[in-house]
Amino acid sequence: MTIPQHEIQHFCNNWQQQLAEAFTNIDELCDYLQLATDTLPISFAATESFALRVPLNFASCMEKGNPNDPLLRQVLPVKDELLTYPGFKSDPVGDLASVTETGILHKYQGRVLLINTGSCAINCRYCFRRNFPYADLQLGKQKEIAVIEAIQEDISINEVILSGGDPLLLNDSRLTRLIMQLNEIKHLKRIRIHSRLPIVLPARITDEFINTLKQSSKQVILIVHCNHANEINDRVVTACNALKNSNIILFNQSVLLKGVNDSAQTLCELSEKLFCLGVIPYYLHLLDKATGTGHFEVPINDALRLISQVQATLPGYLVPKLVTEQEGATSKQYIF
């Protein structure tokens, strides 16, 4: 396959420029994919509350001319987002009830989560924080001092989770400053980072970024988010290899999504491909019931059947844990 010259030039740009050039217009994305918008269940109204954003790296992994492409389904705004589904709400996992006065999310014993930014490189339509009040709760520079002090004072905290949005949208100097401050907290053992960027915008994994992680005196764990084996291209392979070769521990979490990865073969292919990269399949989440996402839900009995088929096919270390998150629970709830 011949890669168009403009795409070659795009991938020579730095990650910030690639981010700026992401698709934010439905017509332009469909034109790139050689799809007619009038043949798709598109909803322009859905973008009014949750915008379209798709990096070219991710779009380039889609099959052109295929309206049912599993990667396209994850990002295309559709009419079903406007339907009302019983039990779906704006804060499906009780994040807001777990926010402390300083803005930390403190749900589970020993771990706290920082909302480092409200921005993402890609807007996944199934996002459980698509309705989250980031403007009020993201960790701006002014809140950072209070947050660090709160972690210092609570010796029960041994792990800090950087989340968002996507924390890797912070620049290296900001990340370095945060890591250096966390280094000074003696009772901390680990820094965990949750990010979709190694998969959707692998150009973010630069030598400078890796050097930033190496400045941590705490153990660093990076949880990537990949739902389908087709998301893994050569650029993703290069990024993950760079992280693995720098002794960064890599796990993956996926969301079980109707029309995306709700087949045993698809889940097996994903686990196999991830493990070849040194990424350990970790969690397979049942859908968090956020408003606008009901069309992605896979019934729990179907989910159990699928994960049983995966277990019958793969060695145990390649079978992700099937979990759900329940408001008020003390941990993720294991379904299988």
Give the helix ranges, DSSP H, for the chain.
5-12, 15-20, 26-32, 56-59, 70-75, 134-137, 141-153, 172-183, 197-200, 207-214, 234-245, 264-276, 300-313
pLDDT of residue 40: 96
- Token duo for residue 118: 């409200």
> To the nearest 10°, the Cα dihedral for 206, 209, 214, 216?
-160
How many beta carbons lie within 10 A of that of residue 285, not counting itself?
A: 23
Helix (H/G/I), strand (E/B), else coil: 314: coil
Domains, the chain, in order of start with CATH, read 5-82 (no CATH), 96-334 (3.20.20.70)
The whole-number pLDDT of residue 97 equals 84
The fraction of the chain above a pLDDT of 90, given in percent, is 81
Q: Residue 294: what pLDDT?
A: 97
Q: What tens digit of pLDDT does each residue of 149-195 get?
A: 999 999 999 999 999 889 999 999 999 999 999 999 999 999 999 99
pLDDT at 1 > cutoff 60: no
pLDDT of residue 3: 66
Alpha carbon distance 150, 139 (integer Å)? 13
Q: What is the enclosing helix (H) or strand (E) of 113?
A: strand 111-115
Q: What is the pLDDT of residue 4?
A: 78
| Residue pLDDT, tens place only, 94-121 | 888 888 867 788 989 999 999 888 899 9
Encoding tokens for residue 16?
A: 């910030």
What is the overall mean pLDDT for the chain?
94
CA nearest to 11, candidates 297, 144, 280, 203: 203
| Residue 147 clears pLDDT 80, i.e. is over it | yes
Alpha-carbon distance of 186 to 281, in angstroms, equals 30
* 135 pLDDT higher than 70: no
pLDDT at 12 over 80: yes
- Neighbour-count burial of 86, counting CB atoms closer than 10 A to its CB (0-12 exposed, 13-18 middle, 19+ buried): exposed
Q: What angle do CA 114, 116, 122 make, to 5 degrees?
A: 120
Residue type, 289: K
| SS3 call for 137 | helix
β-pairing, 321-324 vs 333-334, is: antiparallel
pLDDT, position 142: 75
Which is more confident, 10 or 226?
Answer: 226
pLDDT at 219: 96
Instruction: Provide the pLDDT for residue 2.
Output: 59
What does the alpha-carbon distance between residue 114 and residue 274 come to, in Å, rounded to a whole number? 27
Predicted TM-score (pTM) of this structure: 0.94
